[in-house]
Amino acid sequence: MNNFNRLNTCFFTGHRIIPAKSREPLRNRVRDCCIYLIENHNVTDFIAGGALGFDTLAAMVILELKRHYPNIKLHLYFPCTDQSSKWKFYDKKMWDSIKLMADDYRYISDMPYVAGCMQLRNKAMVDASDYGIAYCTRNLGGTFSTIKYAKEKNRKITIISNI
């Protein structure tokens, strides 16, 4: 159960692989989008999906912004209990650190990976939010499907497709 208001919440969705030359410009765009939502739409809660790539970048932006906006919160939605089991050591350590700094986290499935748990996580993030910020450069895959679902649910979503 969420302890926050959907109308003041934004989810993130995006690709796991971000070209090196795009990382800093993408981080700046996400930061600007978040500041706009905080200052103009009273968004106080942000949900990241706990994956590598865009989820990591977005979570780190929110943790940085908390210094200037102490009322905002970072919520992590993990699809399953063993999401990071095949990750590299450094990636696991980084997410452990983000998890410790997040305001809370939840597992959508309390079991190890099963087919469909990523999609359930994505739907849960959309269902808990009124806003979304997406990094999507192709019209297929999980990010594209999440954007499609968010549009069906009439969520206000900013799509960053080229950096």
Going along the chain from its start, the domains and CATH numbers come out as 6-160 (3.40.50.450)
Cβ atoms of 82 and 51 within 8 Å: the answer is no
How many CB atoms are closer than 10 A to CB 25? 12
Cβ atoms of 150 and 126 within 8 Å: the answer is yes
The 10s digit of each residue's pLDDT in 76-120 is 999 999 988 888 999 999 999 999 999 999 999 988 888 899 999
Beta partners for residue 45, in sequence order: 9, 73
What per-residue confidence (pLDDT) applies to 36? 98
What per-residue confidence (pLDDT) applies to 67? 96
Q: Is residue 1's pLDDT more than 70?
A: no
Residue with tokens 């990976």: 113
The 10s digit of each residue's pLDDT in 112-148 is 888 899 999 999 999 999 999 999 999 989 999 999 9
Q: How far apart are CA 99 and CA 66, in angstroms?
A: 15
Residue 39 CB contacts under 8 Å (≥ 6 apart), including other chains: none
Residue 122 CB contacts under 8 Å (≥ 6 apart), including other chains: 13, 49, 142, 145, 146, 149
Q: How far apart are CA 4 and CA 130, in angstroms?
A: 12
